[in-house]
Amino acid sequence: MWLRLTAPAMGVRILAAVRDLDPPAGGAEMSLATLLKGVIWDGPYIEDAPDYTPLEGEGGVEDANGWSVKVFQSSMRGDVTNLTLDSGLEREVCNIPVEDLWSGLSWRLRNKKTGRNQLWLEQQHLLKRSRAFAKWLAPFLASEKKMAEESGDRLLGVTQLHWSAGAARAFTAAGIPYLAFVRDELQFNHPRIYRESLEGAAAVCGAGQGLLKQIHGVFNLQYGEHVPLPVNYAERFGSAEDVSQRRLAGLTARVERNDGAVPRIAVVGVTPEKGFEFYNRLLPHMQEVWPDARVDVYGGGSYAEALGEFDNATWRGHTSVEDVFSGCDVHVLTVSSTGSWGRVINEAGLFGVPSVTIDIGSQPEAVGEGGIVVPRDGDLDTWVTAIKDIYENREEYGAKAKAHAGVVDHRRSIAMFRSAIRDALKL
């Protein structure tokens, strides 16, 4: 049983219908969880929000009497975690399996070179799961609608990613306006599935202006709003002094093991969408033209592990963000087609680590002046030159990356999300 810790203000009730909210879900789910937790608290809209500096004060005190949030999700990805435990979120769970025969076949028959799933099989999986989710969700929404009519509360649905087409269908049938939060590439891979849900949304929140531009290029949105991915730096990394000490300790350890002069390049999280095929070309080329450099590949899964087989690379497996960025020199991130905001760019920046990324979607916004953005048609030599440039000027770029890290401060992102909800409901 999930209970609210505080009594929310009357007026607005958020109904979030998603497949996942907690890990082992990915960054998109974690971001939405942070945003939903944030609007339970009564805080400013973005035009009234103070300047937030990561790890330095709150920039304004928020009251606990905010909006009510109830989450409808699958129970098949394990127990809730500290991300949402005791957060004040209400919750209803279903036992709809996250995977099925179609998703399994899509994975097993994936393209061996690129690692991409078979899209037709993935499509069948998404359609079936969305239909099942919509059917399960319908009676809950009918009940919520009746209670709102009695209390005078305003309802707003929120959804994202895999089962969002089903959630949107259920919201529409119940006469409840909804907001879609977009960060990843599903809608571009399967526009037929997600067109109705995105074009029917009262608002679509995209992680970055660049991603929103991509969405507008494919779908006819009613209203689009930029909401950067939220990162609660203090909750994750402690104080500014903690971060500085962690970085100093990491660099000192490198010197002690005679590794201080070796260029250390970090790649965090590898999937087909996040450059697997590209890294398979970049790493051997880097070995030829810059043999002194070492690439450390972090994250689980077969794709990251496979990159560790190159002579100039080491697979480090699952590693905490603070351990990754306490001791590396440069962070590299690419995407294949969708410019969803790479939050890891700003996490690296918090530790003074600059990034090299690609000019797609929202990646330039994430980097700011704290790195180099490579044109999407840039060849391998262009990438190596950019990485070497960053390495040779890493202190200068690192300082700029640290200054830019506040662009994803969770307090600022929550204020923008709160404003998007207000605008969607025309409050």
- List pLDDT tens digits, range 181-219: 988 778 888 999 999 999 999 999 998 888 888 899 999
Distance separating alpha carbons of residues 101 and 228, to the nearest angstrom? 35
**Domain count within the chain:** 2
Q: What is the pLDDT of residues 235-293, one digit of tens each?
A: 889 999 999 999 999 999 999 999 999 999 999 989 888 889 999 999 999 999 999 99
Strands (E) in 247-360, as ranges, are 264-268, 294-298, 313-317, 330-332, 355-358
Q: Do 312 and 220 have their domain in common? A: no
Residues forming beta bridges with residue 71, ordered by sequence position = 16, 91
Neighbour-count burial of 150, counting CB atoms closer than 10 A to its CB (0-12 exposed, 13-18 middle, 19+ buried): exposed
Q: Which residues contact 425 (CB under 8 A, 6 or more apart)?
A: 12, 154, 156, 177, 202
Q: Do 62 and 185 have their domain in common? A: yes
Q: Which residues contact 22 (CB under 8 A, 6 or more apart)?
A: 29, 33, 77, 78, 79, 80, 81, 83, 84
In a domain, 7, yes or no: no
Helical (H) or strand (E) element with 303 = helix 302-307
Cβ atoms of 211 and 183 closer than 8 Å: yes
Which residue, among 118, 99, 101, has the nearest Cα to 110 in the 3D structure?
Answer: 118
Q: What is the pLDDT of residues 104-138, one digit of tens each?
A: 887 787 776 667 778 889 899 999 999 999 999 99
Strands (E) in 30-102, as ranges, are 68-74, 90-94
Cβ atoms of 348 and 405 closer than 8 Å: no
In a domain, 5, yes or no: no
Residue at 307: amino acid letter: L
In a domain, 3, yes or no: no
- Give pTM, 2 decimals: 0.85
Q: Give the range of the structural domain holding residue 398, as residue numbers without chain letter.
A: 237-407
Looking at residue 209, which CATH number applies to its domain? Answer: 3.40.50.2000
Mean pLDDT of 60-81: 77
Q: What is the pLDDT of residues 369-410, one digit of tens each?
A: 999 999 999 999 999 999 999 999 999 999 999 999 999 999
* pLDDT-derived band at 338, boundaries 50, 70, 90: low
pLDDT of residue 189: 87
Q: Do 254 and 330 have their domain in common? A: yes
**b/e code 164-192 from CB counts within 10 Å (16+ = b):** bbbbbbbbbebebbbbbbbbbbbbbbbee
- Half-sphere exposure of residue 87, counting CA atoms within 13 Å on the CB side? 24
Q: Do 191 and 250 have their domain in common? A: no
Proportion of the chain above pLDDT 70, given as a percent: 93
As given in the structure block, the two tokens for residue 319 are 């590693």
Please compute Rg for the chain using Cα positions.
Answer: 22
* pLDDT-derived band at 5, boundaries 50, 70, 90: very low
Query: SS3 of 29, please?
Result: helix
Q: Do 319 and 390 have their domain in common? A: yes
Q: How many CB atoms lie within 10 A of CB 111?
A: 11
Q: Do 141 and 280 have their domain in common? A: no
In a domain, 374, yes or no: yes
Helical (H) or strand (E) element with 129 = helix 119-151
Q: Do 101 and 130 have their domain in common? A: yes
pLDDT of residue 65: 65
In a domain, 316, yes or no: yes
pLDDT at 8 over 80: no
* pLDDT-derived band at 172, boundaries 50, 70, 90: very high
Q: Do 350 and 213 have their domain in common? A: no
Output DSSP code: residue 409: B
Output DSSP code: residue 56: B
In a domain, 6, yes or no: no
Q: Do 29 and 60 have their domain in common? A: yes
* pLDDT-derived band at 357, boundaries 50, 70, 90: very high
Q: Do 382 and 421 have their domain in common? A: no
Q: Which residues contact 357 (CB under 8 A, 6 or more apart)?
A: 332, 333, 334, 342, 345, 363, 364, 366, 367, 371, 372, 373, 374
Backbone angles phi, psi at 387, to 5 degrees: -65, -40
In a domain, 180, yes or no: yes
In a domain, 4, yes or no: no
Residues forming beta bridges with residue 12, ordered by sequence position = 154
Q: Do 224 and 253 have their domain in common? A: no
Q: Do 163 and 62 have their domain in common? A: yes
